Structure 1
Amino acid sequence: MKVLKTIDRRNFIKQSGLLMSTALVPISGFSMTSLKKYKMGLQLFTIRDAMERDPLGSLKTVASLGYEDLETYGYDSDQGTYYGFKAAEFKQVLADLQLTTSSGHYSLFTYLNKPLDALKQYVDRCIEGAHAVGQSYITWPWLDPDSRTLEKFRILSEKLNIVGEQVTKAGLGFAYHNHDFEFIDQGGETGYDIILRETDPSLVKLQMDLYWVMHSSKESPAELIAKQPGRYVMWHVKDMDKITRDYTELGNGSIDYTVILPEASRAGLEYYFLEQGGNYAKNSMQSITDSAAYFKKHLQKYL
């Protein structure tokens, strides 16, 4: 008969404490608390005035406010620059500040009515820039006012598919960003109806501007997502003034994001970007300060 070795009380407590502390150590990246799924993003168009004056100083402030991921605009495809920095240099600037950029708004709309070869050549330059800075998505951000007829939306949809295929073959994602004009009823049909129907969901993803959906669409974000779940891979998050319905800082407006943000999983959300196109209470930098503080305190828990 084997005799069990006696463990004295002091060793028992010591060993038990060691086991307990080991059990609480995060394993393979997991922790006792829920993991944050997304980086807090900012569309840099919000602070376009500051970026024009002092891009490096502005980016330092952005990082200090807790923003982690950026969406760019204004890529100079002829020079291969973002905000005056060569693409590789811009990527290093971001890395030094522990920032990333996951998407860019590129001037694709200026090629809608140009020959297809010119559009494809421009897309190639955008792909080169996006790869150089480490972006995952190239985004078509706008349509000129004279290109918002139903016929133009059909031409747009055809070209979105072509660009989507070109970008996808290059190992990147491609998305279309909405404003208000896509939701204007034109004889029982809207431009957004055409985009949803005539573009290939595997090639053309959607960046939902939640402000504009709430401002101008007859359907809520949840209703749009229900039609094509998994396709709304990016969101723009901004608030709407309760009286003027203009842009405003997060928390000052009328949009209830506690209802919208839980739709992230069904939407297929990969990235979101806080944005404010104008109507700043004081100035653009103060607005991104106030919006970041409100978002982190009240809304980030949903993402």
Structure 2
Amino acid sequence: MVSRRIFIINGSLAAAAVLTLPSLAFTMKKKEIGLQLYTLRDELPKNVKLVLEKVASAGYTTVETYGFSVKDQFWGLSAVELKKILDANRLKAVSGHYNSGTFLADGNTTELIESIKAAKILKSEYFTIPWIDEPIRRSSEDYKVIASRLNLAAKLCKEAGLKLAYHNHDFEFIKYNGITGFEILLQETDKNLVFFEMDLYWVFYSGNNPLQLFKENPGRFKLWHVKDMDKKIPALNTEIGSSSIDFKAVFAAAKLSGMDHFFVEQENNFAVDSFTSIRASSDFILNHLTNL
């Protein structure tokens, strides 16, 4: 039996196809397929150089970093050292996930400023905040505070030549007095400074429709996470193109979204191993989702 969530994924996309027009079709001018490096979190810290070589050989040209800390930098490498390895493999870190929990909780900018410095060294375009700790997101008022801090972080990013994005999970779609946290973040942040990285999987998992969000907020979803949902166990990921999500309909609305970059991400449920999976996802995107 088809689950209600999977029915929503397929049915809502078909119904929402009217939201997209031929002029919004997605055409890539260059071969740019990105990978969120968290996909390889078990392998990467052991041998960054070897892993990034494999990422490049799997067809990726851009990456999104994760795991930066002021103390350990990037898995024991400084931003300068990481940039050299990326350059050697013709990879660009166009975005990075930077944990900014301290700043979001109390407004202390120390960690935020150091993270911005690292992003600048990597010559990233986007500085992405990937998470809100549960204790500070329990009400609509909490989300309004978060929104105000995102506005401040975005100003600091702009001064450094970066753009700020916020990455969603599913918890942002919980309603508080009739409004979701995600709606608050969209409404209370400066649309010219604060952008969003839509995690397509989590939007679908929460029962929402990316195409509707694109229509309601055109141009704000500059980044995407592209990961598929297992047909039998929706809580698990799988390789792009092998399961539930109709990515063709989503990619057709890339212009409406405002998407500049997208990143494959797979957190679990690898068919063989993580390297085989990222290659399979890259191949599917190259052959079925882009006009190269």
Class of the TM-score when normalised by the shorter of the 2 chains = 0.7 to 0.9
SS of corresponding position for 1:82? coil
Residues 58-207 of structure 1 mapped to structure 2, 5 A cutoff: 58-79=51-72, 81-114=73-106, 116=107, 118=108, 120-149=109-138, 150-207=140-197
Aligned pair in 2 of structure 1 residues 251, 57: CA closer, same or farther (>3 Å)? same
Equivalent pair of 1:109/1:141 in contact (CA under 8 Å): no
**Residue 258 of structure 1, CA deviation:** 0.8
SS of corresponding position for 2:164? strand
**Residue 148 of structure 1, CA deviation:** 2.5
What's the CA shift string for 1:72-103, capped at 9, x where partnerless? Answer: 00112235x32222111211111111111000
Aligned mates of 1:90, 1:173 — CA distance in 2 = 21
SS of corresponding position for 1:250? coil
**Residue 147 of structure 1, CA deviation:** 2.6
SS of corresponding position for 2:128? strand
Matched, 1:299 2:250: no
Aligned mates of 1:147, 1:247 — CA distance in 2 = 27
SS of corresponding position for 1:135? coil
Equivalent pair of 1:38/1:270 in contact (CA under 8 Å): no
Matched, 1:248 2:238: yes
Aligned pair in 2 of structure 1 residues 68, 165: CA closer, same or farther (>3 Å)? same
Aligned mates of 1:108, 1:223 — CA distance in 2 = 29
Aligned mates of 1:193, 1:249 — CA distance in 2 = 30
Equivalent pair of 1:148/1:181 in contact (CA under 8 Å): no
TM-score between both structures, scaled by the size of structure 2: 0.86
Aligned mates of 2:266, 2:28 — CA distance in 1 = 27
Match of 1:9 in 2: none
SS of corresponding position for 1:78? coil
Aligned mates of 1:175, 1:100 — CA distance in 2 = 17
Aligned mates of 2:99, 2:176 — CA distance in 1 = 26
Matched, 1:280 2:280: no
Identity of aligned residues (%): 40
Aligned mates of 2:177, 2:28 — CA distance in 1 = 47
Aligned mates of 2:43, 2:288 — CA distance in 1 = 27
Aligned mates of 1:186, 1:157 — CA distance in 2 = 15
Match of 2:7 in 1: none
What's the CA shift string for 1:171-195, capped at 9, x where partnerless? Answer: 1100100000011223321100110
Aligned mates of 1:37, 1:261 — CA distance in 2 = 15
Equivalent pair of 1:71/1:103 in contact (CA under 8 Å): yes
Aligned pair in 2 of structure 1 residues 136, 188: CA closer, same or farther (>3 Å)? same
SS of corresponding position for 1:175? strand
**Residue 295 of structure 1, CA deviation:** 1.8
Aligned mates of 1:38, 1:158 — CA distance in 2 = 37
Greater Rg over alpha carbons, structure: 1
Match of 1:4 in 2: none
What's the CA shift string for 1:169-227, capped at 9, x where partnerless? Answer: 21110010000001122332110011011111111111111111111143x11110111
How many residues are treated as equivalent by the alignment? 264
Aligned pair in 2 of structure 1 residues 38, 163: CA closer, same or farther (>3 Å)? farther
Match of 1:289 in 2: 279
Unmatched segments (≥5 aa) in structure 1? 1-33
| Moved >6 Å (runs of 4+) | none
SS of corresponding position for 1:75? coil
Higher relative contact order (CA 8 A, sep 6+): 2
